[in-house]
Amino acid sequence: MTSVDQAFSADGPLAKASDGFRPRPQQTEMAQAIARALAENRVLVVEAGTGTGKTFAYLVPALLSGGKVIVSTGTKTLQDQLFNRDLPIVRSALKVPVSIALLKGRANYVCHYHLERNATEGRFTTPQDAADLRAIVRFAQTTQTGDKAECTEVREDSGAWLAATSTRDNCLGQECPNAKDCFVMTARRNALDADIVVVNHHLFFADVVLRDEGLGELLPSCNAVIFDEAHQLPEVATLFFGETVSTAQCLELARDTRAETLAAARDCRELIDASRSLEKVARDLRLVFGGESERLSHAQALEREGFEAAVEALDEGLEQFAAVLDTQAERSEGLGNCLRRCAEMRERMARWLDSADGEERVRWVEVFLQSAALNTTPLHVSQLFRRQVQAQPKAWVFTSATLAVGSDFRHYCNEMGLTGLEPEPESHVWGSPFDYGEQAVLYAPTGMPNPNSPDYPAEVARVALPLIVASRGRAFVLCTSLRAMRQIHALLVEGLAEREAALPVLLQGEGSRSELLDRFRRLGNAVLVASQSFWEGVDVPGDALSLVIIDKLPFAPPDDPVLAARVEYLQKTGRNPFMHYQLPRTVINMKQGAGRLIRSEGDHGLLCICDPRMIDRPYGKIVWRSLPPMRRTRVEDEAVAWLASI
């Protein structure tokens, strides 16, 4: 069998299988460390800089290990890339008889049961949604997998998918009349049988939660778990170890119950009326808040006029709805499932109403454009995740381009409960093979005002305009808030028009993320103004992107309810919340944003960080030193000249 060293050699199987492959010492060393961790059931934490080739560095030892390995990624896009491109290349090159499977959350697969009901009874808000559902019906008749990513005729964010897929709540499981043909069940069976299973972090933690309830299947059966984009894990774990009751869940329950009633209990008008009443109290709760999205602590929500009464009305509405639904639940599996969902929602609601904020959990409210959610969130997931690691004697590998502060992993290991394990986790930092000193410049402009001043977005736009003109577009402008994003976008459009610079300026929200990125790449001279969702997982190698401008250091808003509760908890335990939590998170986020610039050996570009705190404040040096070793300047003319030359 091929060894790890042979696989990565200059004349090895990977070099023969991939034209772009070149031996990199960092990649080989990383693969060797992962191979040892898999063989010895160790915990390994690895930061590998952009260009290291970490995907092949973990796939090769995983395929050669001879065991069952779960690879968990940060996004579905990366999942598809691993399964459809990277894994087949490596498997073919190594010539190993390893079976692979792709497993996504159930909302990614067409559900025969819900599609049939909603295609017959569904009412849609737009003609496009109705047309999309007809396209999904045609797709369901020919697809082998049911994966909606394969249905390119229908946009991923189309409202029709809600009517064509199931959720954990409304899935009928083995009671479903379509269970034999279920795409989700088929994907799960394939995953249980496969040697390498590609999942994403959300699905991984969903399986962890089910395992705690005695239902999880994947985790106990594997020999190793490899997390790519592992910096996202604390946030995803927090989401899954918490609880939520949302107005959207209530509206979905009401909608599903109506569809089941029309199919199995059409004579029960009272249940239809009860579903309308539930929808009303859910919408009334959302109407308590203004039009903007926001996050509020429980105490802040109580200050909103009508909030307490609206929550009580929703609680009573669920109780009354359950009473009517109980009289009809035996008439079909679907109605019985709706009753179970309603009971679970009432239990979560009761826990939210009865619990008190403390050192372990915090209650808060998140308001979206069309819904509101009552959340209970753990303040730390370290003990919860540590329990999973200790209960499963297997290899655990955590890798990302951004996990360490400098070369220090303490922040990440503390957050994930890895500190103090026996044996201690092994950790490594492998820097990028790119020549940042030759390929990139870091520009910190002078004279910037306090980032909290009202005129700060205007100053960011002022700094950005000459850089964008010199770069001939080809720029990302990454903002830390949606409000700043919109202000800076408007100012850039106005400023470029005044300079008669005919450059297209794109704005996050004008289309889906993938559509905007496709337009950006295709145009070749565009400016994209975006917020946090474009700070990571975005890959634009080549000439289309040569300038990244970041408006501020990405500190979480101090009034964020979960952050405020964590800060209070750390203060009570005698730790400095800023140094132990807020600054390390900011460093990791900054490294992600900076990582958009140089994506290949041939890329050249300039990174402009407008925030004066990186220079003026002592902690700014920690951020400064954590960024790639680019040439540095504070002189605008030098920055403009560099951009004009590339």
DSSP 276-294: HHHHHHHHHHHHTS-SS-E
Phi, psi of 507, deg, nearest 5: -130, 130
Give me the residues paired with residue 462 across strands: none
Distance CA 404, CA 427 (A): 10
| Amino acid identity for residue 606 in this structure | L
Distance CA 469, CA 463 (A): 11
pLDDT value at residue 25: 93
Q: Are 476 and 596 in contact (CB under 8 A)?
A: yes
Nearest to 481 by CA among 536, 557, 547, 538: 557
**CA angle centred on 245, ends 241 and 247, rounded to 5°:** 145
pLDDT digits (tens, 9 = 90+) for 386-404: 988 988 789 999 999 999 9
What domains sit in the chain, N to C, each tagged with a CATH number?
4-99+194-239+381-430 (3.40.50.300), 106-184 (no CATH), 243-378 (1.10.275), 436-645 (3.40.50.300)
Phi, psi of 568, deg, nearest 5: -65, -40
Distance CA 299, CA 544 (A): 47
Q: Are 577 and 567 in contact (CB under 8 A)?
A: yes
pLDDT at position 216 over 70: no
Nearest to 555 by CA among 529, 581, 594: 581
Query: Burial level of 180, CB count in 10 A (0-12/13-18/19+)?
Result: exposed
pLDDT digits (tens, 9 = 90+) for 22-47: 889 999 999 999 999 999 999 999 99
Nearest to 53 by CA among 23, 19, 17, 95: 23
Distance CA 200, CA 78 (A): 9
Helices (H), 364-512: 382-391, 410-415, 436-439, 456-471, 482-498
**What is the crossing angle of helices 269-287 and 247-264, to 10°?**
170
Burial 408-432 (b: 16+ CB within 10 A, else e): bbebbbbbbbbeeeeeebebbbbbb
Supply the mean pLDDT for the chain. Answer: 91
Please give the average per-residue pLDDT across 488-508, as a whole number.
95
pLDDT value at residue 509: 86
CB atoms < 10 A from the CB of 491, how many? 19
Q: What confidence category does residue 220 fall into, taking pLDDT thresholds of 50, 70 and 90?
A: low
Tokens 């093979």 map to which residue?
433
pLDDT value at residue 213: 47
61 token code pair: 């030892």
pLDDT digits (tens, 9 = 90+) for 552-587: 999 988 888 999 998 988 898 899 999 989 999 999
Distance CA 40, CA 183 (A): 36
Please give the average per-residue pLDDT across 343-357, as a whole number.
91
pLDDT digits (tens, 9 = 90+) for 584-643: 999 998 998 888 898 888 899 999 999 999 999 999 999 999 999 999 999 999 999 999
208 token code pair: 């962890």
pLDDT value at residue 507: 95
397 token code pair: 């590998």
Do strands 69-73 and 224-227 pair parallel, antiparallel, or not at all (unpaired)? parallel
Q: What confidence category does residue 237 fall into, taking pLDDT thresholds of 50, 70 and 90?
A: very high
261 token code pair: 């009633």
Q: Are 61 and 4 in contact (CB under 8 A)?
A: yes
Q: What confidence category does residue 209 fall into, taking pLDDT thresholds of 50, 70 and 90?
A: confident
Cis amide prior to 423 (ω within 30 degrees): yes
pLDDT digits (tens, 9 = 90+) for 277-330: 999 999 999 999 988 889 999 999 999 999 999 999 999 999 999 999 999 999
Burial 544-559 (b: 16+ CB within 10 A, else e): bbbbbbbbbbbbbeee
Nearest to 260 by CA among 177, 346, 186: 177
Residue 235 makes CB contacts below 8 A (sequence gap 6+) with none
Residue 92 makes CB contacts below 8 A (sequence gap 6+) with 17
Please give the average per-residue pLDDT across 233-250, as a whole number.
93
pLDDT digits (tens, 9 = 90+) for 419-473: 999 889 999 999 999 999 999 999 999 999 999 999 999 999 999 999 999 999 9
Distance CA 372, CA 349 (A): 13
**CA angle centred on 362, ends 356 and 368, rounded to 5°:** 120
Percent of the chain exceeding pLDDT 70 equals 98
Query: Burial level of 452, CB count in 10 A (0-12/13-18/19+)?
Result: exposed
Residues in the chain: 646
Type and span of the H or E element at 555? none
pLDDT at position 214 over 60: no
**What is the crossing angle of helices 247-264 and 112-121, to 10°?**
80
Q: CA–CA distance from 646 to each of 461, 470, 499, 525 (Å)?
A: 22, 10, 21, 13
Q: Are 227 and 107 in contact (CB under 8 A)?
A: no
Distance CA 212, CA 185 (A): 21
pLDDT at position 211 over 60: no
